[in-house]
Amino acid sequence: MDNRPSFELTMIPEDTPDPVGALLQLNRRFAIPEQETLDVIRHTRKFLPVTLERNIPRDAVAFVEENRFSLPGVFLAVKPIRRYIHNDYATHLLGYLGAISESQFDATERGVYGPNDFVGQYGVEKTYEDILRGVKGLKRVEVDAAGRTLSTLGVIPPTSGQDLALTIDYATQKAADEAFTGDESLGAAVAIDTATGAVLALTSKPSFDPNLFAYGVSREDWNGLVSQEFHPLNNRVIQGQYPPGSTFKPFVALAALEERVITPDATVYCGGSFRFGRRSYRCWKKEGHGTMNMKQAIIQSCDVYFYTLGVKLGINTLAAYVKEMGLGAPTGIPLEGERGGLIPTTEWKLKNRKQAWIAGETVSCAIGQGFVLVTPMQMAVATAAIANGGTVLTPFVVAGKAGGEHPSRTVAIAPKNIALVAEAMRGVVYEPHGTAWRLKLEKRPYQYAGKTGTAQVIKMKQNEEWEHEKMDIRYRDHAWFIAWAPVDAPRIAVAVIAEHAGHGGDAAAPIAQKIIDAYLSGHGYPLDLPVPTPTPGPAEGVTPTPPPAPTRAPQTAALSSPPPAPASATPQETVR
């Protein structure tokens, strides 16, 4: 983004003998709402300019100049205006400038803003408004009793705001924006650095053009945005709260390993359903998976195995561990409006639903359904915590000191258990019957680890069957995929949700692959490198050796300046 000059049509009413006549003359070329403008004039302090039209084109400038002698008090002012060069590129991250509201103007110290100023209203533009806006200049003038300027006594020049270097990687962000294709492309994707938490890409679909706001959004455009069924102004990465489906299972496995309710080589038989009380809970595979240990259950996403773990753990114990991994609470990313999701407990239900917890509800929660809700940002942070060996990061979007502090914490989960789950997630892509097996068909110079998920939007009755493609799009399942790469030296963690798109392996995993490819191909893993032979996983029941943790700069260094980019890195996006 950058700034460019624009022409504004303004009027000083006290210098205009006939404001109504001037408006009539101007409306030969413009469409200025007469009554609304006259109301603004009546409520504006004397001898202050009133903006009639912003960002007027060159031919309109010529019209005003040609008629300026018959339009006393009407003049053109040149003002900088924000230009979003790439239109809807990273819109929900960058945000936009918009006209200052009356309440915002009244709430700020006098002199900070003018009544016609534009201020950050969304995203980075809003969060870092104080840094970006600079300081207004000041001109001291002598006026007469009527308020007319007689002379200038002194001028203090304005001070420009700071430039901000964002953490996003241009190629990675572009890939994320373009990965959602088609008329029904809905969802969100976010990628973060597994060692620092720096946001590498953030996209939410549907999107919008922030230039609509940079020029002063019209009532028609605003109504069009807010009335759209799928809410393009919502940042789904931090505000969308979804059931995680099977992407929740690795975190359930961590809880079970830590509580020792099951061992890695202990097995559960899946015959296609799980009987609990008077109800039977189905596995997604009707005929069942047979005998499953933990690694196999994650690779093949066996519901019955995780139903069993949920009952053994109980909802409160399960909740404590998944919260430890960063789910069910805001991540702390410095963007306004982040939602917390929901990891239910017995206490929560009693307080919010005035009902006791039913044991069967734990069964549904154990596969990421029921009351469980997460945001894509939370899933990216939790995935990075598995990739990096147990560190929950605070995601951030501005590099250097201006970005503030972004603390991290080490989870209270044994590294060997994290390594077991990490190896199983590698198997989701590379081992037989893995639910993301399609990713290995296209050879890469690195390996992924991940987990697919399919989350129901509406509840199915027992033994009910639906044809996904014949359903109203609003009721179709969401597709999830969480992943990191490379497996042996993690650099990037990704969470993708493709709303109403069906199965995670079919719809969400290819999006994640494009994002990871875009980042790693520019950071030491070009796609034309020789493809390594996949390393077979360890024998069942054998604890794998944990992958080496990524090298971390000391925390003090990370807070003072961003790490140097590799020579092959693409330029960072800069907000000016």
Catalytic site positions: 246
Helical ranges in 402-454 per DSSP H = 415-430
Helix (H, G, I), strand (E, B) or coil at 429: helix
Report the chain's C-alpha Rg in angstroms: 28
**Bridge partners (DSSP) listed for residue 446:** none
- C-alpha distance from residue 567 to each of 25, 53, 276, 571 (Å): 59, 47, 57, 10
Query: Which residue reads 């990421």 in tokens?
Result: 368
**Which amino acid is present at 201?**
A
Burial class from Cβ neighbours inside 10 Å (0-12, 13-18, 19+) for residue 415 reads middle
Taking the C-alpha atoms of residue 216 and residue 53, their distance in angstroms, rounded to an integer, is 9
Contact in structure between 326 and 381 (CB atoms under 8 Å): yes
**Bridge partners (DSSP) listed for residue 99:** 118
Taking the C-alpha atoms of residue 276 and residue 283, their distance in angstroms, rounded to an integer, is 13
User: What single-letter DSSP state applies at residue 89?
Assistant: T
Helical ranges in 157-199 per DSSP H = 170-179
Burial class from Cβ neighbours inside 10 Å (0-12, 13-18, 19+) for residue 144 reads exposed
**Bridge partners (DSSP) listed for residue 81:** 4
Contact in structure between 156 and 136 (CB atoms under 8 Å): no
